[in-house]
């Protein structure tokens, strides 16, 4: 963001009333948005923190007993919590690099001149625009153990001997979901990185090829440094979004089989939704948020510089 504020007008002729209104005006213009977000975002957030300190089960609405950090202690001793945490880490550390790599390759290709480039560029983003429920639906169909095209395809190629129930087998369920999420998210990287690629001046490449630099060296010393900033921002943004998007998992497997595809946000949601245990669910949500905060702080440090 550029600094687009007006130069401060320090004019002695301005009557005090107008000077005052000028100072208040920006706040007045901001107040509707700020008040509404306070009411529907910050107030609920504080409420989550408050609920997490209580024993609060929805079907016993009159019980709202203060338990202090009891829910958090229980979470740390809860086996499912640790399973979910482990899955969250696996899920983030495989999905995001996979999306980044595929996105980078796609962006590099889209940056080359070829006749149908505009069409390719428009179509590549489609997964990004689809509702997560629809994404889940079509991948469940693809992974179907009896009639799914994934099995059909791999059987024909001779890569597997018999049909695999991808989503029903605890050993493959998480991997199958990771592939789905990679498919959903890589276009975002492609688009971001492409924008970065196009901001690198052509003259750099011209100079490099006059000096006889190889394609690989041009990539290594011009392209990569040129897009590292965008890639960093994209990774951080995506980490936050991927962490948020448990809806695909929720529809595809609901966390199952067993706890094979549980992740922390999913666990918090299921706890509250199925068991109506809002106290414990809130505690897990708060713990997850605290972990995510580390990423958020990194991101804000980067954009914070750009804002001012």
Considering the complex, what minimum distance in angstroms separates the CB of residue 71 from another protein?
Answer: 13
Tokens of 62: 């009159």
Residue 65 gets which letter from DSSP?
Answer: E
**Cis status of the peptide bond prior to 257, with omega within 30 of 0:** yes
The binder of another protein chosen from 12, 27, 62, 77 (CB under 8 A) = 27
- Are 283 and 52 in contact by the 8 Å Cβ rule? The answer is yes
Interface residues for another protein in 82-141 (CB under 8 A)? Answer: 102, 105-106, 108-112, 114, 120, 122-134, 136-141
Of 205, 213, 257, 259, which lies in the binding site for another protein, with binding defined by CB under 8 A? 205
Specify the residue for token string 């609060």. Answer: 56
Residue 241 contacts residue 215 (beta carbons within 8 Å): no
Contact 52, 71 (CB under 8 A): yes
Structure tokens at 183: 């498919």
Phi, psi of 67 (to 5 degrees): -125, 10
CB of 267 to another protein, least distance (A): 9
Q: Output the smallest distance, CB 76 to another protein, in A.
A: 18
Q: Which of residues 212-271 bind another protein (CB under 8 A)?
A: 215, 218-219, 223, 229-230, 233-234, 237, 240, 243-244, 246-247, 250-251, 265, 268-269
Q: Which is nearer to another protein, 187 or 255 (CB)?
A: 187
- Residue 36 vs 69, nearer CB to another protein: 36
CB 282 within 8 A of CB 71: yes
Minimum CB separation from another protein for residue 204, in Å? 10
Could you tell me which stretch among 68-76, 92-100, 170-178, 275-283 binds another protein (CB under 8 A)? Answer: 275-283
Q: Is 15 in the site for another protein (CB under 8 A)?
A: no
Name the residue nearer to another protein (CB basis): 194 or 260: 194
Q: Among 14, 19, 20, 26, which residue sits at the site for another protein (rule: CB under 8 A)? A: 26
CB 205 within 8 A of CB 220: no
Non-local CB neighbours of 44 within 8 Å, separated by 6+ positions: none
| Residue 284 to residue 294: CA distance in whole angstroms | 16
CB of 59 to another protein, least distance (A): 12
Q: How many residues of this chain bind another protein (CB under 8 A)?
A: 111
Is 62 an interacting residue with respect to another protein (CB under 8 A)? no
Q: Is 147 in the site for another protein (CB under 8 A)?
A: yes
Kindly state the smallest distance separating residue 30's Cβ from another protein, in Å: 5
Residue whose entry in the numeric block shows the structure tokens 């625009």: 129
SS3 string, 84-106, reads HHHHHHHHHHHHHHHHHHHHHHH
Contact map string, positions 156 to 195, toward another protein, x by CB under 8 A: ---------------------------x---x---xx--x
Which residues are within 8 A (CB) of 189 and not within 5 positions of it... i.e. 6 or more apart? Answer: 99, 100, 102, 103, 104, 106, 107, 231, 234, 238
Rounded to the nearest whole angstrom, what is the least distance from the CB of residue 69 to another protein in the complex?
18
Cα gap 53→280, rounded to integer Å: 9
Taking every pair of C-alpha atoms in the chain, what is the biggest distance, in angstroms? 88
Residues 282-301 that bind another protein (CB under 8 A): 282, 285-286, 288-289, 292, 296, 299-300
The nearest distance, CB 87 to another protein, in angstroms, is 15
């Amino acid at each position: 963001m550029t600094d687009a504020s007006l130069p401060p007008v320090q004019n002695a002729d301005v009557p005090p009333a107008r000077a005052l209104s000028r100072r208040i005006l920006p706040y007045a213009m901001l107040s509707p948005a700020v008040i509404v977000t306070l009411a529907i975002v910050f107030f609920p957030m504080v409420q989550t923190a408050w609920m997490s300190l209580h024993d609060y089960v929805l079907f016993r609405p009159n019980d709202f007993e203060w338990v202090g950090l009891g829910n958090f202690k229980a979470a740390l001793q809860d086996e499912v919590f640790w399973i979910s945490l482990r899955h969250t880490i696996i899920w983030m550390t495989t999905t995001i690099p996979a999306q980044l790599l595929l996105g980078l390759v796609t962006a590099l290709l889209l940056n080359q001149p070829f006749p149908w480039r505009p069409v390719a560029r428009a179509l590549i983003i489609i997964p990004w625009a689809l509702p997560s429920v629809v994404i889940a639906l079509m991948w469940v169909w693809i992974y179907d153990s009896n009639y799914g095209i994934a099995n059909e395809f791999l059987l024909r190629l001779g890569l597997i001997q018999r049909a695999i129930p991808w989503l029903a087998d605890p050993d493959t369920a998480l991997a199958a979901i990771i592939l789905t999420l990679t498919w959903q998210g890589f276009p975002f990287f492609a688009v971001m990185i492409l924008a970065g690629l196009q901001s690198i001046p052509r003259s750099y490449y011209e100079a490099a090829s006059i000096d006889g630099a190889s394609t690989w060296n041009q990539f290594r010393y011009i392209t990569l440094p040129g897009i590292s900033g965008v890639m960093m921002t994209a990774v951080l943004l995506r980490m936050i979004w991927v962490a948020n998007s448990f809806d695909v998992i929720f529809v595809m497997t609901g966390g199952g089989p067993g706890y094979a595809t549980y992740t922390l946000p999913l666990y918090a949601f299921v706890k509250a939704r199925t068991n109506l245990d809002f106290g414990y669910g809130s505690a897990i949500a708060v713990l997850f948020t605290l972990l995510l905060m580390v990423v958020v702080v990194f991101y804000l440090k980067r954009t914070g510089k750009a804002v001012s």
